[in-house]
Amino acid sequence: RKEVEQDPGPFNVPEGATVAFNCTYSNSASQSFFWYRQDCRKEPKLLMSVYSSGNEDGRFTAQLNRASQYISLLIRDSKLSDSATYLCAVESGGSYIPTFGRGTSLIVHP
């Protein structure tokens, strides 16, 4: 099993839809979790950190499920501008350096 796995998609959704992505990780000792957004031909930028209790930032909600070893990102009321690749990053207990998933592509259409 790969250390961090994501469904590459693409997820093709209409404006206004709700869409959710999951990211599974293999190391149960993982401590820190992040979602990054990467626009086409641009660098990744932090979207949000994922806390044990879950966290919300506007239309975006991130959750952690330690028992099943995955994090999720929920986007409500999708906008055209949400079209991007969403990378999850998981820090394992040993090196503290995050391992990135391959990303999930989201395309929001009119």
Partner 1 sequence: NAGVTQTPKFRILKIGQSMTLQCAQDMNHNYMYWYRQDPGMGLKLIYYSVGAGITDKGEVPNGYNVSRSTTEDFPLRLELAAPSQTSVYFCASSARLAGDEQFFGPGTRLTVL
Site string for partner 1, 9-38 (x = CB under 8 A): ----------------------xx-x----
Contacting range for partner 1; rule: CB under 8 A; set: 11-19, 57-65, 69-77, 99-107:
99-107
97 binds partner 1 (CB under 8 A): yes
Ramachandran angles phi, psi of 80, nearest 5°: -55, -35
91 binds partner 1 (CB under 8 A): yes
* Residues at the contact surface with partner 1, assessed by CB under 8 A: 4, 6, 8, 31-32, 34, 42-46, 49, 87, 89, 91, 96-103
